[in-house]
Structures are given as structure tokens and as C-alpha cells.
Amino acid sequence: MKKLIVLLLVMTAVITNSFGQQSVTISPIHPERGQRVTVTFDPTVAGNGIPADAKAVTLVFSYSNFYNLPWRIKMEKAGSKWTTSFVLADYTVFATFYLESGEQVNKPAKDQHYEVAVYKNKVPVEDVFLYKGYSMSAQMGKSPLLAGRQHDLYQQELAMYPNNYEAKLRLLASEIDAAATPQQKAALRAKAQQVIADRFNSDPGNSGNLNKVTMGYLIIGEKSRLDSIRKVVMERYPESAPGRDLNTAAVARGKDTTAQIAYFEKELGKETAENKGSFTEMHDQLFRYYAARKNAPKALYHARFLTSEKENPYTVTVWEEIGRTLQQQQLAPDTANYYVQRALDSVHRYPVGVIRYFPETGYIYPYVDDSTRQSAYDKAACRLHALLGLIALQQHQPDAAEKHMALAVQEIADKETLDDAAVYYQQTGNKARLAMLDQFRKKILLEKILKQQVSKPAPALTSFVDMQGRAVSPDALKGKIIVIDFWATWCIPCMQEMPYLQQLYDQHKNNKDVVFMITNSGAKNTLADAQGWSGHKKYSFPVFYNTDPEIGDKFKFNIIPASYLIDKKGNIRFVNIGFEGPEVLAKLQGQLDILLQEK
């Protein structure tokens, strides 16, 4: 069976490369970790989707665990062809991609993308078929054939690697979804639960294994089980690393800090050189408790245990956090200065991008372009200088404080930096600097907003009804600036955003050129849910309901809240995904002001 599976994958590669011999080739056919993969595109082949005179071609990964590579890679022109290459890292498994040039796209087929599978001695490495199953949703969209295709791929993975835990659960989850009767579903679910139980019992005191167990319950849709399995670990395996972490978190949620301190101090009597990593959270809690109680000796004692000698991309951020905690508590300013200066001296070690950690691989650092990386370092340096300025003020060193603040307040400064600068200028009574800082914030926000501008035709606004169920007339929206916010009654971040939307509406409700459409679009919501929403008693902005289940695909969002500002010509000009906190009001106001100033 294994030979047959390998042959099928090779045949898939040959088919892909057969098309590729006409337009795209991927070599080598059986790439291994550490090897260089080269992708070549010939635009002269008729019907390939991208014209021969294309000015640029980009390789776009649609699914990938090649985390060290960017999701978009610009290809280089080599004669009449385009090419790019990359080296497979030692953890890579599978990726899919297509080629893009402007609006033109090159794919092997309508619901198929090119793929790079990783091999060892011409045999697919473990997880290739599992990850290929994951990639199918990006390739096939909402095709009715998607579930069946994924099911087959999970079977293929298990044919080659029968002990693949995740593939077992994915296969069972797909069979549960397809089961015809409640009895069949129950039997399959019991089987899946046993797979998870076996995994848990194989190593209950291992943090990585516990992560696999909790992931398993999420795969089969039993999120409610997570708390119960954690309780089992806390009660049966309290001396294990995950047991100690979970118990620490549980105790820290209490309100009696005296009792918490006593508990943690007693538990630290069990700390040894071998298990000290599992006590870090206790030291962190005690550091914060003692800092809040102004007990400098004990706070500083526990701070020493918050970083380890092992490689950790977050060590430098821990130094910053220790310094900030001491500064906020006005405690041990010399030591606070030491930690923050240490972070500043190591600013080029600040984590950038999404850093993943797997027990099997350790930390996996993402691809980040040089300009983005340098910008992150520069922002961190500004933030650290601002913090050092506040600490210098506590040390009664005004000249040093001023020098740090001068280095902190720059165009690249983030909100935390500017907040610290505001505190500094308030404490020093510098009203002129505070006014300057306010203008500086507005300038930075405006520049940020201008960079976020887009211009693309908005989807037809024909699926919206008001709270009486009456369709919104497109004519009523013509020539208007439209503020659309998509939300759902069950979405907590959406509810957090509502007061700011009300403030924005209050500022512009009498402007006939602006239309607000606060639109319930949750997949689990009905018009009745929207009508019964308690927010009708709190807010006066107009509420609508979306009747089109494909609206997320049309507007290109899969996270709510999601807001869009459409100009008078019917083009989407600004997109805001997710709730950004109180700053959302100033951001939306700035975006709307730009559109209102246009003629």
C-alpha cells in the first residue's frame, strides 16, 4: 500500500509538471529538507493565464508550512522565463501556490494549485497528505467535493503513517460529519475520544503532549472538554510542568494575595535544577506581588528567575517588562534602569513576526523583510528610550531624562511610547510639549491612514434589510459615503466596538452625505436575533441585517467586526478588520474625514 501511495503522489507531481513543462516546472521532483527548490514559469505558452509581456510575476503561497519564506515571492526574469528558488528548512512538509501578475492568475486547474511536497529518499515525509488535506479548502473553496477529497487524503496519510494522531482525528471528524444516523455519529465520536485518551495517557505530564490532547478535542468539536482535561492534570499530576502551570494560574486568579504568596513560597521549596523551568510562572507572580507591595528585595530576587539561559526569543521583552513593572511601582529605579538598558542594548534581538514553537523543532522564526524587521527594532528602541526617560526622572536625572525622551518621540513611535511621553511631560509640567505630542499623534495617525488607502469597487449592496425586514434601496445609497460595520450578537469584540461607532455616528448623523450601516452578518444570527438585540436600547445608529451568506467572501473578510468605508463613487477606500481598542474611533474619524474632503 505504501508503494502505491508513493506512486500516486509521484503521478500527481508528473501531472503537475506535465502541465508545468508547458508553463511551470518545479525541480527537483522529490525535494528533501535542506535542498533548493526552483520554480520556473514560461509565459509564452498559450492559455497559461498570464500574458507573455507581463511586467511582473509573483509566486503566492495559498497554503504553506514553509514559515521561513514570505507568502508572496517576486519571481525574477531570466530570458523569456520567470524563475525563483528557495531552500527547504529542516521542518518543512508541504505547500501549495499559484502565480499572479496583476489581475491575471496561473493555476494548473480551476480548483487546483501547484504543490511542493517534501520527501525523504523519494518517500513523502510524515504529514504531507495531512497538510495537503488542509490545503484543499484554499484550492477548492466551498466545493461540495471538498469534504470527500480531504477524507481521502487523511486515509492516504494513515496508509503511510498509521500512528499519525492528528490524521486519525481528522479522518474520524470527517466521518462524524458524514455519518447518517445519531448512532453512527456516537460510535465514531467514542472512537475519536479513545484516540485522544490514549494520547493523553501516553505522557500525561508532558506539556507538548497536553497541547496535542487539547488540539484533539478541538478537532472533534468538543471545546468544553478542555477545562475537564486540564482539571485532571491539575489534580492527578500537580508536580508535572503543565500541572504546575495550571495550578499556578488557578491560584493567581484568587483575590487573597497574602494566601497566594504563602502558597507560591511553599511550592518553591520543591524547585530543583531539573524542574526549575516549571516554576517560572510562580516567580513571575511573586515578582509582581512583591513589587506592588513595595518590597524591593523580594521583588528583585524573583525577577532573577524570569529569564533562562536557554535560547528564548522573548528574553529581551521580559527584561523590558521587569523594568516597566519596577518603574510603574516607583521601585528600585537603578535596577529598573539596568533591565531596560539591557533590553535597549539587545534591541536587535526583539521578536518580530509570529514565532512558533513545537517540542519537536523548538522555536521557528518567520520570514520578515529587512525593512519590517528594522522598523520593529526602531519602534522598540523608541519605547525603551521613553521608559528610560521615566526611570531617569525617578532617579532625579533631568538631563538624562530629556535626552531619552528626545530619542523616543519620533514619527515611528508606537502608542505606548507616546503614552509614556505624555506621562513624562505631564509630570514635568511641559504644556507646550503636551500640545506638540497631541499634534504629533494626529500626524502619525493621518500618515498611517493614508498608507492604508485602497480603491476597489464595492460589492453590490443588495442584501441588506432594515429591522422591519425592508430591503435597502440601492438608489438611497448612490452618491453617498457609506460606513458599513459587520458584526454579530455573539461577537464580544463587536460589542466592545459599539460605543465608538455610536460616537462616530453622533458626530456625523446630520450629514446627508454619510450613511451608516451597522450590519448584523453573523452566520449564527437571524433577522429575529438582530431585531431582539439589546443594543437597540443603548445605541441610536441605524442597524441592518445582511441576508447574503456569501457576503464575507464578497467583501473579503472572515473575522468580525469588519468595517468598510465606501466613497461616493462606490469604491471601497478603507478596510478595518477586528477591534483595535479605543483607537478605533480616531482611526475611523480620520478615514471618514479624508473621504468628506474629496469632491
- Residue range of the domain that includes 569: 456-597
Amino acid at 258: T
Claim to verify: residue 441 and residue 481 sit in the same structural domain: no
Average pLDDT, the chain: 92
pTM listed for this prediction: 0.81
> Do residues 316 and 434 share a domain?
yes
85-133 pLDDT, tens digit per residue, is 999 999 999 999 999 998 899 999 888 999 999 999 999 999 999 999 9
Q: What is the CATH number of the domain that holds 539?
A: 3.40.30.10
Domain final position from 448, 475, 492: 448
Per the structure, the count of domains in the chain is: 4
Q: Tell me if 251 is assigned to some domain.
A: no
Judge whether 19 lies within some domain. Answer: yes
- Quick: pLDDT tens for 556-590: 888 899 999 999 999 999 999 998 888 899 899 99
147 in a structural domain: yes
- Continuous segment of H or E residues that includes residue 96: strand 94-101
Query: How far apart are alpha carbons 302 and 326 in whole angstroms?
Result: 13
Domain with 84 in it: what CATH number?
2.60.40.10
Residue position matching grid coordinates 513595595: 294
User: Cβ(400)–Cβ(377) under 8 Å?
Assistant: no
- Does residue 323 share a domain with residue 427? yes
Q: Are residues 29 and 130 in the same domain?
A: yes
Quote the CA–CA distance of 408 and 429 in Å, as a whole number: 18
pLDDT in tens, 291-344: 999 999 999 999 999 987 777 899 999 999 999 999 999 999 999 999 999 999
Query: Which one of 191, 206, 236 terminates a domain?
Result: 236
Residue after which a domain boundary falls, among 132, 162, 192: 162
Is residue 93 one of the residues assigned to a domain? yes
Residue 256 domain flag: no
**Pair 373, 433 in one domain:** yes
In a domain, 11, yes or no: yes
Q: Which three cell numbers stand for residue 100?
A: 499572479
Residue 37: count of CB within 10 angstroms of its CB: 19
Distances (CA, A) of 484 to 212, 361, 370, 495: 40, 44, 36, 15
Per-residue burial over 476-487, b if 16 or more Cβ lie within 10 Å, else e, is: ebeebbbbbbbb
Q: Which cell goes with 249?
A: 494560574
Is there a domain that residue 269 lies in? no
- C-alpha cell, 341: 538598558
Same structural domain, 184 and 145 = no
Measured CA to CA, the distance from residue 433 to residue 440 in angstroms comes to 10
The pLDDT of residue 310: 75
Q: Average pLDDT of 344-362? A: 92
Residues 151 and 6 in one domain: yes
Q: How confident is the model at residue 377 (pLDDT cuts 50, 70, 90)?
A: very high
In a domain, 585, yes or no: yes
CA distance 558 to 372: 25
Q: Please, which residues bridge with residue 39 across strands?
A: 26, 84
Answer for the pair 215, 200: CB distance below 8 angstroms, yes or no.
Answer: no
C-alpha cell at 378: 526602531
Name the packing angle between helices 207-219 and 165-178 (round to 10°): 20
Beta carbons of 390 and 424 less than 8 angstroms apart: yes
